[in-house]
């Protein structure tokens, strides 16, 4: 593996990074769930805040918030985003007259800002492993299998050079086995498949109680897991699951800052790397929109647990930064569905005048970028031949931010 950083005309360049997991609407609630609601606050209490925010969005507000988010991603060095999209219907749960309305708001935001988009419409059917119906707050997320496949087919026909459409199964608790089998049988052979799994201890316990197995092991035993699959979070794996996921060729999307924010736990990085597993990162709930922070804290979390340094480095690749950048580069195609040769053409150029990079060499440039300071070092970004970031700023930053401000004020007043 290689990090693909090279010196071109005196400037360090590297391929853009794929953000493997995003819920765009949650950018509007970043920082709004940090007040104690009870002494045992957890993912499950955070979810109440998320539901309240999700209930307020209309298509124009989703477009404005997603545009702001995607511009921020581009400024940070993400050039492709895998959008795990479940905000499908009107707030009262009724489908729009044009069912893909909310999906098209995201597609428009991606095209307006210039980011590549892998749109992953989500199948969300039940409120738990026990197949309870969706509650009132979840109804705008829900589909029958037939309605979901119609939505998927409509969107899949709209693919182009900068848009891929895959499938997201929200989670094992939200999609029952029969529905999962029906959807998987209907998908195109090359469709990417993403699923939330084993994020929380409570989820593992519920799956054991009702399906008689741990979530990841159940998935391994019931579907043909392969390189089309991305397991989002997969935080709580046992030793056997680590090896089997790695051997399957499936990818894991690790969302370090969100997992920390929600108190999920730490992914078993070293064991999974040793098993040869594919992995990438995502900004998920967008309390941070920075591949630098995701990668830095992927390593730092392991240092805090092991009380050692340079955890992901190896004798063959002693640079932590090189290992991390090579990892996200190696999984880019399998998570996004865009051909690797295409993704390699999307370029990040780092700021040649940044004090952090003075005297940088090919041996230390990856480490200098990821582990020196907090100022963004991204100077220029090009996606599909289009310059979208210049001088560290998105080329349409002011107009996008103005629309976002209007939308956010309306959402917060809702």
Q: How far is CA 289 from CA 22, 82, 307, in A?
A: 10, 14, 27
Please confirm, yes or no, whether 21 is among the known catalytic residues: no
CB-based contact 259:235 (threshold 8 Å): yes
Q: What is the DSSP string of 11-41?
A: EEEEE-EEEEEE-GGGGGGTTSS-S-SSTT-
Q: What ranges in 212-306 are assigned the alpha helix state H? A: 215-222, 239-248, 256-262, 269-274, 291-306
Integer Cα distance of 152 and 182 in angstroms? 13
Q: Which of 264, 284, 346, 367 is catalytic?
A: 284
> Which two three-digit tokens encode residue 229?
């699959």
> Which two three-digit tokens encode residue 96?
């729009």
Torsion angle of C-alpha atoms 389, 82, 144, 174, degrees rounded to 10: -130
Integer Cα distance of 124 and 155 in angstroms? 17
210-242: b (≥16 Cβ within 10 Å) or e: ebeebbbbbbbeebebeebbbbbbbbbbeeebb
Q: Which of 21, 143, 156, 233 is catalytic?
A: 233
Listed residue (284, 361, 252, 333) closest to 15, CA to CA: 333
CB-based contact 220:244 (threshold 8 Å): yes
CB-based contact 286:30 (threshold 8 Å): yes
Please confirm, yes or no, whether 308 is among the known catalytic residues: no
Active site residues: 233, 284
């Amino acid at each position: 593996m290689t990090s693909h950083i090279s010196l071109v005309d005196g400037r360090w360049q590297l391929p853009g990074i794929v953000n493997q997991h995003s819920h765009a609407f949650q950018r509007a609630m970043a920082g709004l769930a940090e007040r104690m609601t009870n002494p045992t606050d957890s993912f499950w209490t955070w979810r109440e805040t998320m539901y309240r925010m999700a209930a307020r969005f209309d298509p124009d507000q989703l477009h404005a918030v997603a545009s702001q988010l995607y511009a921020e991603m581009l400024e940070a060095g993400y050039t492709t985003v895998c959008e795990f999209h479940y905000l499908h219907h009107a707030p009262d749960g009724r489908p729009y007259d044009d069912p893909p309305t909310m999906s098209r708001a995201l597609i428009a935001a991606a095209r307006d800002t210039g980011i590549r988009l892998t749109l992953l419409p989500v199948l969300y059917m039940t409120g738990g492993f026990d197949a309870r119906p969706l509650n009132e707050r979840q109804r705008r997320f829900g589909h029958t299998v037939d309605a979901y496949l119609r939505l998927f087919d409509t969107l899949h026909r709209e693919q182009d050079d900068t848009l891929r459409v895959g499938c997201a199964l929200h989670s094992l608790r939200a999609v029952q086995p029969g529905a999962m089998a029906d959807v998987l049988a209907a998908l195109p052979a090359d469709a990417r498949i993403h699923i939330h799994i084993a994020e929380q201890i409570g989820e593992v316990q519920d799956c054991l109680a009702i399906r008689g197995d741990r979530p990841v092991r159940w998935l391994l035993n019931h579907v043909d897991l392969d390189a089309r699959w991305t397991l989002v979070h997969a935080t709580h794996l046992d030793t056997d699951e680590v090896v089997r996921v790695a051997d399957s060729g499936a990818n894991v999307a690790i969302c370090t800052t969100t997992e920390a924010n929600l108190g999920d736990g730490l992914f078993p990085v070293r064991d999974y790397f040793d098993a040869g597993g594919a992995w990438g990162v995502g900004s998920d709930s967008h309390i941070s929109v920075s591949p630098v922070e995701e990668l830095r804290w992927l390593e730092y979390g392991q240092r805090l647990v092991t009380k050692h340094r340079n955890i992901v480095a190896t004798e063959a690749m002693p640079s932590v930064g090189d290992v991390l950048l090579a990892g996200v580069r190696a999984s880019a195609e399998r998570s996004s569905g865009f051909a690797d040769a295409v993704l390699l053409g999307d370029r990040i150029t780092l700021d040649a005048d940044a004090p952090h990079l003075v005297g940088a060499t090919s041996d230390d440039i990856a480490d200098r970028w990821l582990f020196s300071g907090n100022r963004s070092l991204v100077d220029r970004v090009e996606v599909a031949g289009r310059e979208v970031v210049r001088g560290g700023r998105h080329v349409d930053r002011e107009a996008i931010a103005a629309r976002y401000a209007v939308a956010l004020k309306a959402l917060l007043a809702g």
